[in-house]
Structure 1
Amino acid sequence: MRGILNKIWPGVAVAFVAALVLLSVPAAAKDSMKQLLTDADDGKFDISEYLARGGFIPVPIIITEPALGQGLGVAATFLDYSGLPDGEDPTISVLGVAATGNGSKGALAFRSGSFRQGRFKYAAALGGGSVNMTFYPTGNRGFTFNNRAKVAYLEGRMQIGKSAFYLGPSITLANTKIRPDFGSSFPIPPALTQDIQMNALGILTSYDSLDNPLTPRNGLNFNAHLRRYDDVIGSDANFDTLSVFGAGFRSPNPDWTFGGMVLGNATSGSTPFFMEPSIAIRGVPLNRYQGDRVLSSEVEIRRQLNPRWSVLGFAGYGRATANGSSSISKNNEVFTGGLGVRYRIAKRFGLDMGLDVAVGPEDTIVYIQLGHAWGRNLK
């Protein structure tokens, strides 16, 4: 299946979204579908008018993640630009479900937005699922385990003066049940199952000067998030996590955009093995290379071919380091690279969609992208 996916032309993704959007438009809509889904200037497929009225994009989830096995799902992504005041980000709401070939499955509800002309920003998430993963304590050989988790998350940030800096708190509530997976024919003794409650309070700071929150061409984005899991707030494990992210974009002319990002993660204390961070760049399987100090970085060059289509190339470097307090015993570093293509699906808002094909040290992975590939880290 992966070999077939590697050859899929990116227009298939755009066509699939177009078909789903067509199905989602009420039959009694006063305006014609052509007006809603076609750009008046070039006559191309475009959902700007649809989003301007508060529409949603049913995004297909085609999972080629080697750590999870091939899988399918769908995410109903609502992008609300209707009546958006100056300075405010669009409200983004996501309802998603997915399942994979190794028996993993999950569901997620997410919402983010801003108010008071962008002075206050928020994000909330509620999700759960059962995930079968492999843990590699020595970097080579690993063991499979099942993680049944329920997670609730909330954050809020306030603008500092009239600057581009924001600061605010976060709260994480998670319950997870961990047990080894020896196959369905082998009964699991109750003593091998861990039921862990993990509650954290955090503080988040961010700086944002991007010209577009979904597909940036110029500007900087920085954020740092420190979380403390502690028994004082009902957590069964006491540890800290720190995430620091930075990304920059520069377009010297309308045809070229250059970007770079660095993501650093660290943990301390009695961190459960499944909470150790991992290298997170295109081309690396999820949780494949973990440690208590992890660096992930990418650079990207993008060429705009015409007002609708663009192509890009990217390269990544990651390093995972473990010390004596970590359950990981081996350091790892990886290099990746790949190519991608994008279609300007909403010209008015600068929103792109497309595919990336990334080559890593172990496999080739295909990603469907809505907005920028680093968007999940932009705050």
Structure 2
Amino acid sequence: MENMKKTRARRPSPVASRGTFRTGSDFDNLSGAGAAPSRMMSRARQLGLLIAACGLSSALSSTVWAASQTVGDFTENNAASKDSVNLASGGSWVVAPIPKSSPTLGAGLQPVVLYMHPPKQDNPNRESAITGVGGLYTDNNSYVVGAFHKDYLFQGRLRTMMALGKGKLNLNYFGVGDSGFLTDHPLGYSIEMDVLYLGVQARIPHTEHWYFGPNFLYTQGTVSFRLSELAPIFPDVGRSVNIAALGLDLSYDTRDDSLYPKDGTYFTASVSDYGETWGGDYDYRKYGLSLSHYFSLGPKLVLAANGEMKGSSGDVPFFDMPNLGIRGYESGRFIDDFTFMTRAELRYQFRPRWGFVTFADGGMVNDSISGLLSGEAGLGYGVGVRYRASEGSTLNLSLDVARTSEDTGIYIRVGEMF
């Protein structure tokens, strides 16, 4: 398959490097009718957690952005904090079939089996190691299966994470930014990949809340476009892809609880280098900054706020570009080289095991950081209900209804959005 590169109407087309699988305004503007099949195929080849959107990755960060995120959502949202579960007398099992719903993947089931190990006596914060397996299947025939282990070693000074996953995600490509034919006529594609994630963070000496360390991400699989959705004359096309990265993470965490914080700050900064050096097909870099703060407004009321910026450079494949995660839009509706978004939630625990949330999400995307504040924008808002999984846990089952200018979305998941 010929090299594929991302182009846009507002900037010249960059030169594609070997192995690039990119997006393009050329493809965005295709109408299907009137284009010769050979020309269509040539442009199609220009399209470029991990199993990141679904992935074993919000603890990890799309199969790439799509699958990578499922790993993260699965690990972070199911990680127990020192206040989450009473494990004084030993370990604890959690087994649950959890309904799943989102505009991106549809409705389905997310079975989870977790073992929360007894807390180590030499760990002053009493964090518990967690081992888990889980899966996801939805009515658009997407699936993810995976396993992970998260541990705290050397009196909590060292945090480790390992995750393995496999899955297939059926998604839609809306083009880059917010212009072109595909914005209103998205093209379906599939990502099918195997994922490995390894991460280590050590507490920085002479500090109490700062952690720093490397991580490694490797995925291999296929990306396929369903061109037959444009016109039956066109065959579906795809190619094999390998994505590999070595990254560094810095974090600062003063939250009183990692599952349902009522007070504190959580900051993360990350940089990842993707390339042939680590076993991948694409040479690019990704950067991220995220800051969350939690304000206790009373015994039952919490205001949670989050700001997040993502950036990329080099030959980024479209499926791993920075993405706005605004509730009410499909994942991938807003992608570009740079993204900025803010979220705010007012959380009210009106019963010991029941809560209510009202929220607003907003963000912007652009191909340059200098033009980010004037880039394409999206806004979503809505309400949600929370239910505590057990009396001794702060882990919530969440149901959100979000509204945007384009659609209404229903989300069912484990844990909070941030």
For normalisation by structure 1, the TM-score amounts to 0.77
Q: Which residue of 2 aligns with 1:299?
A: 344
1:236-247 to 2 correspondences below 5 Å: 236-247=281-292
- Alpha-carbon distance in 2 for matches of 1:365, 1:50: 37
The question of 1:80 aligning with 2:117 is answered yes
The question of 1:321 aligning with 2:349 is answered no
CA deviations 1:38-70 (Å, max 9, x no partner) are: xxxxxxxxx956896422333434332222233
Q: Which residue of 1 aligns with 2:242?
A: 197
Residue 320 of structure 1, CA deviation: 1.9
Structure having the higher strand fraction is: 1
Say if 2:101 and 2:108, in contact at 8 Å, map to a contact too. Answer: yes
The question of 1:101 aligning with 2:173 is answered no
Q: Which residue of 1 aligns with 2:403?
A: 359
Note closer, same or farther for the CA distance 1:157–1:48 as it changes in structure 2 (3 Å cut).
Answer: closer
Question: Which of 127, 140, 149 is the aligned partner of 2:165?
Answer: 127
- Alpha-carbon distance in 2 for matches of 1:311, 1:251: 15
- Alpha-carbon distance in 2 for matches of 1:102, 1:368: 16
Q: Which residue of 2 aligns with 1:136?
A: 174
The question of 1:113 aligning with 2:151 is answered yes
Name the aligned partner's letter for residue 68 of structure 1: L
Paired residues, number:
321
Show structure 1 runs of 4+ deviating over 6 A.
184-187
- Secondary structure (helix, strand or coil) at the match of 2:127 reads coil
- Alpha-carbon distance in 2 for matches of 1:89, 1:251: 23
Note closer, same or farther for the CA distance 1:252–1:81 as it changes in structure 2 (3 Å cut).
Answer: farther
Residue 146 of structure 1, CA deviation: 1.7
Residue 187 of structure 1, CA deviation: 8.2
Residue 323 of structure 1, CA deviation: 5.3
- Alpha-carbon distance in 2 for matches of 1:183, 1:74: 33
What is the root-mean-square deviation in Å for CA atoms of aligned residues?
2.7
Q: Which residue of 2 aligns with 1:337?
A: 381
Question: Which of 311, 320, 331 is the aligned partner of 2:356?
Answer: 311
- Secondary structure (helix, strand or coil) at the match of 1:361 reads coil
Residue 78 of structure 1, CA deviation: 3.2
For normalisation by structure 2, the TM-score amounts to 0.70
Say if 1:123 and 1:156, in contact at 8 Å, map to a contact too. Answer: yes
Gaps of 5+ in 2: 1-83
Say if 1:63 and 1:72, in contact at 8 Å, map to a contact too. Answer: yes
Note closer, same or farther for the CA distance 1:102–1:160 as it changes in structure 2 (3 Å cut).
Answer: same
Q: Which residue of 1 aligns with 2:335?
A: 290
Say if 1:51 and 1:80, in contact at 8 Å, map to a contact too. Answer: no
Q: Which residue of 2 aligns with 1:372?
A: 416
CA deviations 1:167-199 (Å, max 9, x no partner) are: 00011111131121145987847xx42212121
The question of 1:57 aligning with 2:101 is answered no
Gaps of 5+ in 1: 1-46, 325-329, 375-379
- Secondary structure (helix, strand or coil) at the match of 1:177 reads strand
Q: Which residue of 1 aligns with 2:303?
A: 258
1:139-158 to 2 correspondences below 5 Å: 139-158=183-202
The question of 1:69 aligning with 2:69 is answered no
